[in-house]
Amino acid sequence: MTAELEGKVGLVTGGTSGIGRETAVLFAKAGAKVVVAGRRDKEGQETIEVVRAAGGDGLFVKTDVSKGSEVEALVQKTAEKFGRLDVAFNNAGIEGVWSPIARQSEQDFDRTIAINLKGVWLCLKYEIRQMLKQGTGGAIVNMSSTLGLVGAAGAAAYAASKHGVIGLTKAAALETARHGIRINAVSPAVIETSMSERLFSAPQVHKVVLAQHPIGRFGTSKEIAEAVVWMCSDRASFMTGQSLVLDGGFLAGPTSSS
């Protein structure tokens, strides 16, 4: 990978595993210093070790993105450590409890929205403030999903949170475009992560969900991370307010089980 982010400072939430960890490593390989946020200390430090092994410099900050004070502190620590913030990937999220609306608890709904949607809003709030303060623009990518574009029975809270992320992305992009800050979303279908393992590991479920991906496989964390790095780089300089779908054909049309 070329040094597309040379001299920049990047922030990745949900960076303790999966897509977040892969993106942190690719940020580093692209020349950025990386701040990784997450709720798990051990895994966060492991990500930083991988970042350093890739030749980068990084910092882990334990953060619950549903809490405004912690997100504000995260951005402050980023600026204190590296002097600025140029690019961010608001990736932290949970699948929540998947169940029909009539049986879903208010607690489960609130937790999913708090992390997946409010968390992105909080990150945008403080990241944008820092970038405006600097006055040199920036790029932010929010994690949505194909379920931010279509519904799925039993996944109402998750789908609502991811639809909300796309709405936030568009509004934030309009608010910041004149300041040179680009804000986009990435919307993957099923990616090989611990989350998809929890949701789709049962053989019959795996078979049905895999059949909805015409390309014949699930995506990889690196495939999503590569797209995020591109969206954060100057190569995507005319892109803002958009959702980039990476779905192996999931949304292209009905699939056949034959």
Catalytic residues: 144, 158, 162
Q: Look at the alpha carbons of 168, 169, 174, 176 in this order and tell me if their dihedral is positive or negative.
A: positive
Q: Look at the alpha carbons of 202, 204, 209, 215 in this order and tell me if their dihedral is positive or negative.
A: positive
Are the CB atoms for 218 and 147 separated by under 8 Å?
A: no
Rounded CA-CA distance 189/47 in Å is 24
Identify the CA nearest to 164 among candidates 218, 109, 212. Answer: 109
Non-local CB neighbours of 65 within 8 Å, separated by 6+ positions: 13, 14, 37, 71, 90, 92, 115, 119, 120, 122, 123
Rounded CA-CA distance 212/257 in Å is 9
Non-local CB neighbours of 257 within 8 Å, separated by 6+ positions: 211
